[in-house]
Amino acid sequence: MPVARPEPQEPRVIAHVDMDCFYVQVEQRRNPALRGQPTAVVQYNDWKGGGLIAVSYEARKFGVKRSMRGDEAKTVCPSINLVQVPVARDKADLNVYRSAGSEVVAILATKGKCERASIDEVYLDLTDAAKEMLLESPPELLELIFEEATKSNILGLPSVIFFLCDLVVAATLQFDMNVTNRSSSVQDVSNKEDSVKAWLCRTDADYQDKLLSCGAIIVAQLRVRVLEETQFTCSAGIAHNKMLAKLVSGMHKPAQQTVVPSSAVQDFLVSLPIKKMKQLGGKLGSSLQDDLGVNTVGDLLSFTEEKLQEYYGVNTGTWLWKIARGISGEEVEDRLLPKSHGCGKTFPGPKALKDNASVKTWLDRLCEELSERVQSDLNQNKRIAQTLTLYARACKKNGCDSIKKFPSKSCPLRYGTGKIQEDAMKLFESGLHDFLGSQITKWSITSLSVSASKIFDIPSGTSSILRYIKGPNSTVSPANLDCSLHEDLSLGNKLYIAPNHEEHCEPSSSEKGDHGNNSILAKQSQAKEEKKMSKKLTEVKGTCSILKFLSQSPPALNEKRKFDSLMCSHPGPESSSEANKAEDHTPTQSVDRNNFSTGGGTSASSSPWMLNVEDIDPAVVEELPPEIQREIHGWIRMPKHSSSKARGSTISSYFQPAKRS
């Protein structure tokens, strides 16, 4: 349910830019011969000529609508040009339109905070740009107003007065009627532009309207620039909030813009159908009509805030009360990239999927496309998606319980085409089980889609933890991680690490003072223990030692890693007495950062590598980036409760050099 958001104290200038029949414009740019011709874009489907997803204004004059099929459009307009959407993997490929939309967004984003709402629409917060213009070059002081801005449609502007004056003058001068008819449209346009210019340059306007005037000029400049650089036309709405800007952006199309002054809000909303309001086109809007008899926004004004709260709760009731008065605190999100990636396909009529094999075939295709898009997003934009969701529409053969919907299912997203395909199929099987329940009946799938959501930027300066193990020249991405690393390498509460025999290990400081025989015994005991640890690791199916990656480090790095010993605290009942003595008499020291550095420098210390899983604070691990957290949790089982030992507040305290007495 919608929730009311606090309205900003300062006035804002918000624009909603909507491309005009965008898919058709893209095809017209690809094939200029289509310009000025009745044209429609058809989505891939051979049933009745396919479904129309965009119709040019030339075709609309003949009565062609988006709800029609291709064959019906040809009946209405025999001269129409039907252009098929590009096809990939036996489904529509919209990448050419996404790329074209990105061109437009790149231009619009130069003037303020930009939120890409879809392939062909964008929200802009132009408040700062409008304030700057008002301060430096207010419209009332400009000798020449940008021409496109004077063509704006200002709600509530009484331009009809100018038109009536024209008729009186024409009658007085007794112009020839034919001449008057031919010139009336030119006069109307000229007088409208004069009235708009007068409104934009008012010296007595309040601060809000002056900001809107600046916003109208800025949007007009942006629209002209979009046309010049991309050959695309667009329409726009300019208001003090997103809701109003969205409502009016489509009022005057194509290639026009509409401004909503504060004084015109109530008159504009009072007769607006309630279903036209954002978030009221579904169940909530139907409830308002059925339960309260509300058909227009004006009808909603008759209810108090308390009454609406009584019906729909505190949050939604307040939201309804505010939108009826044109109040909305929703902010423009600074987002040029989509919030999610999705791929879907419909299977109408006889094309419905009726068995797991056919579902898997199509899921594999959809997941392949989804994997390409999330991987491209990761590589180009450094963003990582975290949730995979499957949606479907289904029906049962016997028609029983037909109201029940196929439930959507989600799980953590694992990068890699094969993994996404495997997880998507498991989600489908889970959803099908819930959909059928205890019934044993035939079923069919009429729609199938997968999406990747909860997309976050990877923090700058972070990378996979394997980079620090393998060396600075190694590159690791989520798609390339060895799945064996995500297996549990822990045995009990201990982390066993097999040694890299190619590395140079020197005796520990406690052993240097002992007799030579004791040193030899300690080395033999250590080698024996290492052999046992290696054997235990090999017994864990699907796992490998972390030193597999250490062994791949350059020789120069190996020389820099001169650890006194490689051991674990409390390695197990089979540990040697010498190892236990070393633990008893040598205080646990932090790893010297120079020893574990990927850069240059000579090791300045030789302290023992002591690792007890119980000493790792889960709270510190949670400070790490999500991808590194997953790697760490894949190697060890974190204890349920933090250790009571004193420690620093950040992870850096674990890597401080040990102090020598």
- Would you name the residues annotated as active-site residues? 121
Q: What is the Cα–Cα distance from 195 to 189, expressed in whole angstroms?
A: 10
Contact at 8 Å (CB) between 494 and 567? no
Helix (H) or strand (E) holding 285: helix 283-292
User: Phi and psi for 578 in degrees, rounded to 5?
Assistant: -65, -40
Pairing assessment for the beta strands 257-259 and 153-154 based on DSSP bridges: parallel
Q: What is the Cα–Cα distance from 495 to 441, expressed in whole angstroms?
A: 50
> Whose CA is closest to 244, among 214, 218, 277, 211?
277
Q: Which residues contact 644 (CB under 8 A, 6 or more apart)?
A: none
Q: What is the Cα–Cα distance from 9 to 13, expressed in whole angstroms?
A: 13
Q: Which residues contact 643 (CB under 8 A, 6 or more apart)?
A: 614, 615, 616, 617
Contact at 8 Å (CB) between 100 and 26? yes
For 206-271, what is the HEC assignment? Answer: CHHHHHHHHHHHHHHHHHHHHHHHHCCCEEEEEECCHHHHHHHCCCCCCCCEEECCHHHHHHHHCC
Contact at 8 Å (CB) between 109 and 335? no
By three-state DSSP, how is residue 530 classified? helix
By three-state DSSP, how is residue 272 classified? coil
Q: What distance separates the 2 farthest-apart alpha carbons in the chain?
A: 127
Distance, first Cα to last Cα, the chain? 64
CA geometry: angle 94, 100, 102, nearest 5 deg: 105
Pairing assessment for the beta strands 153-154 and 234-239 based on DSSP bridges: unpaired
Lookup: tokens for 245: 């800007």
Lookup: tokens for 598: 């990927």
CA geometry: angle 232, 236, 237, nearest 5 deg: 175
For 384-425, what is the HEC assignment? Answer: EEEEEEEEEEEEECCCCCCCCCCCCEEEECCCCHHHHHHHHH
Dihedral sign, Cα of residue 87, residue 90, residue 91, residue 95 = negative
To 10 degrees, what angle do helices 207-230 and 95-108 make? Answer: 130
> Whose CA is closest to 483, among 421, 540, 416?
416
Alpha-carbon distances of 228 from 28, 220, 234, 307, rounded to whole Å = 15, 12, 12, 52
